[in-house]
Amino acid sequence: MNKIMRLFSRLSISATICTAVCANVLIGELAFGSTPDRAPSSAAGSRPAKDDCEKRYEQAMSYVWGTKHVQINEEEAVKRLKALAGSGCAEALAQLSGVGCDGSWAPLVPENKDAAQELGKLALMVGLAQRADEGRPNAQYGLSMLYEHGLGVDKDSHKAWQLAAEAAEGGSPVAQLNIGAKCYNPSDCSGKDPAKAVNWYEKAAAQGLTDAQFFLGVMYLKGVGVSKDVNRAAELIHLAANKGQEQAIVKSVAFNSIQRYDRLLSEDPENADVYYKRADAYYQLEQFDKAIEDCNRVIAMKPDFGMAYIYRGGAYLELELYDKAIQDYNSLIALKPDIDWSYRGRATARLEKGDFENALSDANKANQLSPSNLNAGLVGLAYVGLKMPDKAIDVLSRLQPVDAHIATGLSLAYRIKGDERQARQYMLQARAAEDYTGYKEELSKLERAILGTTTCDFQN
């Protein structure tokens, strides 16, 4: 009992709740025994009616998902989940275990892998696996999290995927979201399937899941996996933004700004400042061609408008038009030789082109002007490209926190040195990084530019 009290304390869960859940754990041990070795259920056709645990769990999670017509409020969600965990609800315990393991809800639920491990065991003791076998989607998804992270069970990504798929088929919106995300941008080396991602995002978005609405909106905006439809994209993104989804708020503001700038330009079509602001909004919406068009207008009217070169150069980078990007950064350096943005942008373009010596020069200049992880990281990657792994490791290993770019650079450096163990360790660290999914394609391109191969080739 004292051990569990300390565990709950480390995750900021009150002693009252601890006492309640300890009692439930003792009951669970008597009823269900220790952690079962189970195969995922295939009986999806006969799902039991939702019980009080499931209903209250979904109500608590609605403050994370934005479902059930509530505003996103993670603090309220955590408060409800902790109370629900105190009543011995397996799904709530599994949820707290998962977020305690990855730190995604810190500081509300501090990252603590040891405590998360024990919470996973508690969830199993009070019957999580049995509830999953009964066909309860929230329990299936909770159990998939435990298998994904190895919390209370041996880590098993295949079982985790099977359980998440069952949960998604059973209607769990967060499982549908995550299956969609893995179809669109898998964290492993399997092929992406944008059309399947759209299908799963549609299902989750229809249930009001704000993250699904946002990601689906972006896919409509880009025309990826679905026909491009800017109006549908705006509708979905505004829906998510109105519930408080942070990424959607940024793009929702951009949509609204474009409408305002359109009106202003209809009245004053020679206003360079408004064209620049609209280019910024288009850039936020990843409408890079339109951003370039507006920057062209700005530069035609004001050739010394530095920010227009920054945005146009960035848009060219996104479109992989590296020579044009370099030209813009050259123009910017001629105008403003003492800002790091221009050298960093040109270093990035040169890295992508495989011009590592000049990329190193630009990255060093950027880092001298403004020392930062971003600029120093480019220095390290340029050393990797020049096949100077010891220098790369010396630079990159000093940087904290280790994001996906830094971990990828270290993995590549150790591959060049022939240290497969360290290379694989950093490769896995890169994939686990919070920013990996958003930069996966960019990092793969960079790896191929540097080594002519990717970590997926290395893994396989």
CB 426 within 8 A of CB 410: yes
The rounded distance, in Å, linking the Cα atoms of 350 and 372 is: 19
Residue with tokens 């960019």: 442
**Could you read off the pLDDT of 153-201 as tens digits, one per residue?**
999 999 999 999 999 999 999 999 999 998 987 655 556 799 999 999 9
Instruction: Give residue 278's pLDDT.
Output: 98
The rounded distance, in Å, linking the Cα atoms of 393 and 379 is: 11
Direct distance between the N- and C-terminal alpha carbons of the chain, in angstroms, rounded to an integer: 46
Instruction: Give residue 303's pLDDT.
Output: 96
Handedness of CA 67, 59, 245, 178 (dihedral sign): negative
CB 359 within 8 A of CB 350: yes
DSSP string spanning 285-310? Answer: TT-HHHHHHHHHHHHHH-TT-HHHHH
Q: DSSP character for 48? A: P
Instruction: Give residue 456's pLDDT.
Output: 52
Tokens of 263: 């009106």
Tokens of 82: 């902790």
The rounded distance, in Å, linking the Cα atoms of 140 and 68 is: 21
Residues 6+ apart with CB under 8 A from 131: 90, 91, 139
Instruction: Give residue 403's pLDDT.
Output: 87
The rounded distance, in Å, linking the Cα atoms of 206 and 239 is: 11
Instruction: Give residue 30's pLDDT.
Output: 29
The rounded distance, in Å, linking the Cα atoms of 239 and 222 is: 18
Q: Which domains does the chain have, with CATH numbers?
A: 1-35+50-171 (1.25.40), 353-460 (1.25.40)
Peptide bond into 194 cis (omega under 30): no
Q: DSSP character for 13? A: -
Instruction: Specify the pTM.
Output: 0.80
Instruction: Give residue 438's pLDDT.
Output: 54
Tokens of 74: 């993670």
Give me the amino acid identity at 78: V
Instruction: Give residue 36's pLDDT.
Output: 39
Residues 6+ apart with CB under 8 A from 323: 353
CB 27 within 8 A of CB 88: yes
R_g (Cα) of the chain, nearest Å: 25
Instruction: Give residue 431's pLDDT.
Output: 77
The rounded distance, in Å, linking the Cα atoms of 313 and 321 is: 9
The rounded distance, in Å, linking the Cα atoms of 177 and 198 is: 10
Tokens of 270: 């020679």
CA 119 to centroid of chain Cα atoms: 24
The rounded distance, in Å, linking the Cα atoms of 344 and 346 is: 5
Residues 6+ apart with CB under 8 A from 264: 271, 274
Distances, alpha carbon 239 to alpha carbons 153, 209, 258, in Å:
38, 10, 18
Query: Which residues of the chain fall below pLDDT 70?
Result: 1-47, 186-191, 434-446, 449-460
Distances, alpha carbon 402 to alpha carbons 107, 208, 378, 436, in Å:
19, 34, 14, 11
> Taking CA 158 as the corner, what is the angle to CA 154 and CA 162, rounded to the nearest 5 degrees?
115
The count of other CB atoms within 10 Å of the CB of residue 20 is 16
Instruction: Give residue 453's pLDDT.
Output: 56
